[in-house]
Amino acid sequence: MTSTPGTTLPDTTTSLLTDRYELTMLQAALADGTADRRCVFEVFTRRLPAGRRYGVVAGQGRVLEELTRFRFEQDELDWLAAAGVVDDATLGWLADYRFTGTVHGYAEGEVFFPQSPVLVVEGTFAEAVLLETVVLSILNFDSAIASAASRMTSAAVDRPCLEMGARRTHEDAAVAAARAAVVAGFAGTSNLEAGRRYGLPTIGTAAHAFTLLHDDERSAFESQVAALGSGTTLLVDTYDVREGVRLALEVAGTGLGAVRLDSGDLGVLASEVRHQLDEAGAHGTRITVTSDLDEYAIAALAAAPVDSYGVGTSLVTGSGAPTCGMVYKLVAREGADGAMVPVEKRSSAKTSVGGRKSAARRLGADGRAVEEVVVTGPEEAVRGWAPDDDALRPLLVPLVTDGVVDERWTGAAGVAAARERHRESRAELPRGARRLSADEPALATTTLRLG
């Protein structure tokens, strides 16, 4: 199916991207009459990865896109029946499944902290509980990638970062990773499906194999320039870097777009290559570096004459933090009298705080954030809460209303909006929040109780 312009999704349902216990809970709840109880589920993380100062919410748009495809078609129902997963009554209920509830959450691209209610899902228990796994699988992965990508773009300052990690992860994860990287400030991706689906700029010219295909380096460069023009990027380190640069300039002239370095001491080589290019009058020829970069390597190259960074493995694996540890917890449900009742988990080290919540960020006089504020209290008070203090910036936005997805957050337009939200949100953090050294979260989370 085709969703918003710039987004082409596979023609499959997402209903079985879930865990069995969601369906067995549904069967039991349908049987005992609790399936239709109104419920509020909340997505949050109890802690950031060790040493990280902030996280980045990513994947909200993908959650909404997948929600529109969360259906139990005949193939899925037949398999569930054959596998004996649930009974006939539950299969009948699943056949008509459509999410009719409401979802609020942090705008995609927003930074988050421990206990931040990044997504609030409300509906009947039956329709909301089924979404747990697909929501968490998207938000945990995408937010981990965006959080790592934000550290990389922060370290790069004004130099572009380019996503090149498709060969280091699952083919579907590669598309999601490219999207999340662009949300966090990456300038483009090598992944064509990500480009097609989300309107992302795509990049890439040639690998070492192209040079090795030809009888010599000059022939390879001549072929590439003939095909792609002198504005292309030539990979100059297949053999000897200095000789590679000399040949690149002989073939393409001083109008050569860029050279790429993919091995060796990148800082030293970049300085030598910049000197060689400038001596030849190729002052506009850029230098791109690749080769297992992460945020620390990027920061170490800050003083080197590098123009852009290509990042792969470290990015698509979350640079040491491949998940955000987000959980999907029931925090309120309808009681026997029809009123909403706060519920919470009290297990050691895995507690949750009951009740519907809202959130805001408190800003100082200089416009920088000073704390994350989680709003709690009586159901109706929290539901209707809006800050009466100009220093509080509300964080939750409507994403789904009565089952209808707000398409502003999906497709190419959603990515563009998320990228801008991240730029503004990160700029709002206190000074020092973007340092790469390990520390506590940049903002403390406090509670504002209403009523």
User: Can you tell me the distance from the alpha carbon of 179 to that of 67, in angstroms, rounded to the nearest whole number?
Assistant: 18
Asked if 166 and 78 sit in the same domain, the reply is no
Domain annotation covers residue 358: yes
pLDDT at 350: 74
- Do 299 and 223 lie in one domain? The reply is yes
Residue 10 lies in a domain: no
Shared domain for 262 and 380, answered yes or no, is no
Q: What's the pLDDT score for residue 8?
A: 57
Question: How far apart are alpha carbons 321 and 438 in whole angstroms?
Answer: 13
pLDDT score of 349: 73
Handedness of CA 230, 235, 239, 242 (dihedral sign): positive
Which of 52, 141, 57 is CA-nearest to residue 434? 52
Residues of the chain where predicted confidence (pLDDT) is lower than 50 = 1-5
> What is the dihedral angle through the alpha carbons of 166, 170, 175, 177, rounded to the nearest 10 degrees?
-80
Structure tokens at 71: 């259906």
- 139 in a structural domain: no
Contact predicate 387/395, CB 8 Å: no
Report how far Cα 43 is from the mean position of its chain's Cα atoms: 15
Q: What is the pLDDT of residue 3?
A: 38
The answer to whether residue 15 sits within a structural domain is no
Same domain, 155 and 24: no
The predicted structure's pLDDT at residue 299: 98
136 part of a folded domain: no
For residue 134, how far is the Cα from the chain centroid?
A: 15
List, for residues 231-267, the tens digit of each pLDDT value: 999 999 999 999 999 999 999 999 999 999 999 999 9
Are 409 and 335 within 8 A, CB to CB? Answer: no
Query: Which of 276, 291, 320 lies at the terminal end of a domain, its last residue?
Result: 320
CATH number for position 213: 3.20.20.70
What domain count does the chain have? 2
286: phi then psi, degrees, rounded to nearest 5? -90, 160
Instruction: Judge if 90 and 166 occupy the same domain.
Output: no
Is 140 domain-assigned? no
* Token pair of 382 as six digits: 């929290």
Residues 207 and 261 in one domain: yes
In a domain, 207, yes or no: yes
Using CA atoms, how far apart are residues 414 and 406, in angstroms rounded to an integer? Answer: 10
* Adjacency order of strands within the sheet including 233-235: 188-189, 161-163, 308-311, 286-289, 258-261, 233-235
Could you identify the residue written with the tokens 């005949």? 74
**Structure tokens belonging to residue 300:** 């170490």
HSE toward the beta carbon, residue 52, CA cutoff 13 A: 28
The predicted structure's pLDDT at residue 2: 34
Could you tell me if 291 and 385 lie in one domain? no
Tokens standing for 281? Answer: 């009058």
Same domain, 301 and 352: no
Same domain, 286 and 380: no
Parent domain of 184: 147-320
| 203 and 310 within one domain | yes
Task: Give domain status of residue 142, yes or no.
Answer: no
Look up residue 286 and give its two tokens.
Answer: 């850029």
Q: What are phi and psi of 11, to 5 degrees?
A: -85, 55
Identify the H or E element spanning 273. helix 266-279
Shared-domain flag, residues 280 and 385 = no
Q: Are 250 and 280 spatial neighbours (Cβ–Cβ below 8 Å)?
A: no
What is the model's pLDDT at position 51? Answer: 92
User: Cα–Cα–Cα angle for 109, 110, 114, nearest 5°?
Assistant: 130
Terminal C-alpha separation, the chain: 47
In degrees rounded to 5, what are phi and psi of residue 15?
A: -65, -25
Return the pLDDT at 268.
98
* CATH code (residue 348): 3.20.140.10
Structure token pair of residue 61: 């748009």
Looking at 301, 320, 339, the residue that finishes a domain is: 320
Last residue of a domain, one of 320, 355, 384: 320
Determine the pLDDT at residue 7.
56
Are 372 and 253 in the same domain?
A: no
What distance in Å separates the CA atoms of residue 349 and residue 355, rounded to the nearest whole number?
19
Query: For the chain, what percentages of helix, strand and coil (3-state, to nearest 5) are there?
Result: 40, 20, 40
